[in-house]
Structure 1
Amino acid sequence: MAWVDSEIRDYLQPDHLFEQVTRLEGEVFREVETRKTLRFSLGDQNYFVKIHRGVGWKEILKNLLQFRWPVLGARNEWLALRKLRQAGIDTLEPLAYTSEGLNPAGLKSCLVTRALEDTLSLEEVCQQHRLRPGLKHRLITRTAEITARLHQLGVNHRDLYICHFLIRLDELDAENPRLFLIDLHRAQIRNHTPQRWQVKDVGALYFSAMVDAGLTRNDIYRFLRAYTGLPLREALQADRHFWRQVQQRGEALYLESWPQLPDLMKRQTEALDE
């Protein structure tokens, strides 16, 4: 299958699309053995392309033995972007996609998206000390709403860290800033998101915000209310077990990088056990 949006069809054609994108020149953002992310220009517009080459049977078997579903190419991200955009979630706009081959270990695929210009990740906003209280509250609420909607759609991200939410520079002072969710190449799509994958997403978000955003207990409860759509007491009564699991997931991720938990995480564990 090959598809190219009319916006870039003067430059790229569906026939032999993979071969065409491998000849593009630009700035390499990331490159590993089987995947490359390239920023390039067509006319006066900038774009990104993710080029996937076959991962090989060794990688597939390794993932399956670890009870993980392997990422075979760009299809996951293409489907996830379309689903999120149809649901009104701000994300990248796909403009071209192809997948070639029948052997799952040797698939060649690519995904072209329009570049999001003049943005910062939430991680960068925090590191640059631009997270004023009012903006912080709005971003926590919006992040929770996006995450909840994602899970309601049957999608889980698998890398849901604050670095994967982007905000436009000209919206840092906006009353309702948009957040763009990116890097969905490992996303999974089902009719219903299993709770264990919800826990992994929210736990990863909790961990990364704890590291970079200077969370307070009120911030945690603000997220909890926005994610569930319930008052705090009702949310905890409805599924305290879920939030204990999220807490444990966040703690486990934190302890992979640091020798001990911050005081807030310890106090939060105690509060959930009350």
Structure 2
Amino acid sequence: MRITLVPQVSSALPPAAFDALMVLPGVVQRRVKERETLRVTIGGREYFLKRHFGVSLREVAKNLSQLRWPVLGADTEARGIRRLQALGVPTVSLAGEGERGLNPLRRQSFILTEALPDTITLEELSLRWGRQPFRSRADMLLKRALLVRIAGIARSLHENGVNHRDFYLCHFRLEQGSPGLHRPGEALLLHVMDLHRAQLRRRTPLRWRIKDIASLYFSALDAGLTRHDCLRFMRLYTETPLREQCGRPFWRRVSTKAEFLYRKAHGRSAKLPLEAG
């Protein structure tokens, strides 16, 4: 068994901290068969606790048949968080992690991360924008700043061998007190979340770059996205002149994948701004 906790957490838990964390009550945020995410309070402070209870042989076989390495525990997310921190990409802060058991099918593990108060997901923000047109200069400047920031994050991850696998707007959190919200031109405090399926390599394969960018595109399709926004993102993500990107197979595959995801989620075709005349 191994367990690591920051001092303010370890001092608030009993000696058998692993046992305590695996049964600690909280507000359930997400629960599936082999894992759950809860919002918990420890020592008067709020955290997110992700607990893993092993993995089924069926799930392992399913992932391997699709040429994917299965997620066997919480350490995948912990390694992803540390890699993003090393790259200077804002994410959550680890307050603890641990695992016990040698059999990966029965291994228990957890990570504890500090909550991010006063933040909003970009999905929440995009839904607001999708319901009403951009009427103010401030909204337009914010959207432009977000495009720059997200494209930079995507480029940094992919150039350094990281692919998220769930690269949707709901997994970006914007701090409401971010200077860039009120003083355009200043950096936006945008955090990348939910790295439990992230893959870390020396180089990111083309397949997974397409998957990440298509997921991002799909999740922004109802957010008032324009063709100009898409072209700006293409230029920023590749850091090459736009004339070198238009018509490339990479972006056609991104559009095809985004359309597939949209139809699967909503049961109807999407209006793809990247393909608008």
TM-score (norm 2): 0.89
Superposition pairs for residues 17-56 of structure 1, below 5 Å? Answer: 17-56=17-56
Q: Quote how far apart the aligned CAs of 1:258 are.
A: 3.2
1:271 is matched with which residue? none
Cα distance between partner residues in 1 of 2:244 and 2:275: 23
1:94 is matched with which residue? 94
Question: Does structure 2 conserve the Cα–Cα contact (< 8 Å) formed by 1:17 and 1:98?
Answer: no
Per-residue CA shift, 1:134-191, capped at 9, x if unaligned?
1001001101110110111211000000111010112233432111000110111111
Superposition pairs for residues 1-274 of structure 1, below 5 Å? Answer: 1-12=2-13, 16-129=16-129, 132-171=139-178, 172-175=181-184, 176-211=187-222, 213-236=223-246, 240-256=248-264, 257-262=266-271, 264-267=273-276
Per-residue CA shift, 1:69-102, capped at 9, x if unaligned?
2111101100000010111100011111112111
Question: Residues 41 and 258 of structure 1: is their aligned pair in 2 closer, same or farther, counting only changes over 3 Å?
Answer: same
Question: Residues 227 and 116 of structure 1: is their aligned pair in 2 closer, same or farther, counting only changes over 3 Å?
Answer: same
Question: Does structure 2 conserve the Cα–Cα contact (< 8 Å) formed by 1:251 and 1:265?
Answer: no
Letter in 1 for 2:270: L
Per-residue CA shift, 1:201-259, capped at 9, x if unaligned?
00110111113x1110110011111111222123448xx12122212211221222332
Cα distance between partner residues in 1 of 2:236 and 2:274: 20
C-alpha RMSD over aligned residues: 1.9
Cα distance between partner residues in 1 of 2:47 and 2:148: 30
Cα distance between partner residues in 1 of 2:92 and 2:272: 37
SS at match of 1:207: helix
Cα distance between partner residues in 2 of 1:146 and 1:95: 23
Question: Does structure 2 conserve the Cα–Cα contact (< 8 Å) formed by 1:74 and 1:109?
Answer: yes
**Number of equivalences:** 264
Question: Does structure 2 conserve the Cα–Cα contact (< 8 Å) formed by 1:118 and 1:169?
Answer: yes
SS at match of 1:134: helix
Letter in 2 for 1:52: H
Cα distance between partner residues in 2 of 1:11 and 1:29: 23
Cα distance between partner residues in 2 of 1:17 and 1:42: 12
Letter in 2 for 1:197: W
Bigger mean CA offset, 165-174 vs 129-138: 129-138
Seq. identity, %: 41
Q: Quote how far apart the aligned CAs of 1:265 are.
A: 5.0
Q: Quote how far apart the aligned CAs of 1:31 are.
A: 1.5
Question: Does structure 1 conserve the Cα–Cα contact (< 8 Å) formed by 2:10 and 2:17?
Answer: no
TM-score (norm 1): 0.90
Question: Does structure 2 conserve the Cα–Cα contact (< 8 Å) formed by 1:38 and 1:49?
Answer: yes
Cα distance between partner residues in 2 of 1:223 and 1:71: 31
Question: Residues 236 and 6 of structure 1: is their aligned pair in 2 closer, same or farther, counting only changes over 3 Å?
Answer: farther
Can you give the 5+ residue segments of structure 2 that lack an aligned partner in the other structure?
none
